[in-house]
Amino acid sequence: MSKEQIVVGAIAGAFGVKGEVRLKSFCATPEDIALYAPLKGDNGVEYTLKITRAIKGGFAARLSGVRFKDEADALRGVKLSAARDLLPSLPDDEYYHADLIGLEVLDTGGKLLGKVAAVLNHGAGDILELRGPALKGSVLLPFTREAVPTVDLAAGRVIADPPEGLLD
């Protein structure tokens, strides 16, 4: 099994008083999070997972080793990761966020702009957060085909054609 982990969900706190947790799934098909168990928490603990029902904003779920409300509450904010090799392969034009972070970003002339520091999504589409010595702070680049025509994972780089004025 791969040691590389991909974040697939997070615990939002307790649900009820019998040790269930509120679970937010980051999977394309939210209930698929249960297929990738055991999940590793960013607290270093490995959990088996059983979804008990859908609730507003996610799922109610049982995690191994969590029996009481106070234990579930203590897990609020813990991110859950699955082994990379358990996740499905993606089509050519789709990427796991973890694959993009750290890639060099070059402009269409080959000039280094910086590196991908994060992939953000606030509802209107993905945005690449770029950081680099030539940039004044972080730059947010829309992750669209127009602004990012090429992603070359094998070469470890992204070719960007940023909108005018973005890097000024």
The C-alpha atoms of residue 95 and residue 119 are separated, in whole angstroms, by: 11
Same domain (yes/no): 73, 141: no
Residues 76, 11, single domain; the answer is yes
State the pLDDT at residue 134: 77
Question: Tokens standing for 71?
Answer: 């234990």
Q: Are residues 67 and 37 in the same domain?
A: yes
Q: What's the structural domain count of the chain?
A: 2
30 is a domain residue? yes
What sign for the dihedral angle of Cα 19, 22, 27, 30? positive
Contact 65, 21 (CB under 8 A): no
Task: Report the C-alpha gap between 122 and 62 in whole angstroms.
Answer: 29
Distance CA 72, CA 22 (A): 9
pLDDT digits (tens, 9 = 90+) for 18-54: 999 999 998 888 999 999 989 999 999 999 999 999 9
61 and 29 part of one domain: yes
Last-in-domain residue among 67, 86, 105: 86
35: containing domain: 5-86
Q: Is the pTM of this model over 0.75?
A: no
- pLDDT at residue number 3: 63
- Which of 86, 112, 146 marks a domain boundary? 86
Tens digit of each residue's pLDDT (9 = 90 or more) over 89-148? 888 888 888 889 999 999 999 999 999 999 998 878 899 999 988 788 899 999 999 999
Three-state secondary-structure class, residue 117: strand
Q: Give the tens place of pLDDT for each residue, 54-67.
A: 999 899 999 999 99
Would you say residue 40 lies in a domain?
A: yes
Q: Residue 38: which CATH number?
A: 2.40.30.60
> Looking at the domain assignment, is residue 64 inside a domain?
yes
Q: Binning pLDDT at 50, 70 and 90, where does residue 1 land? A: very low
- Say if residue 78 is in the same domain as residue 101: no
Judge if 41 and 16 occupy the same domain.
yes
3-state secondary structure of 151: strand
Distances (CA, A) of 27 to 24, 118, 140, 167: 9, 18, 24, 33
Alpha-carbon gap, residue 9 to 27, rounded angstroms = 7
Specify whether 34 is located in the same domain as 82: yes
Q: Both 14 and 79 in a single domain?
A: yes
The one-letter amino acid code at 32 reads D
Out of 61, 86, 111, a domain closes at 86
**CATH for 112:** 2.30.30.240
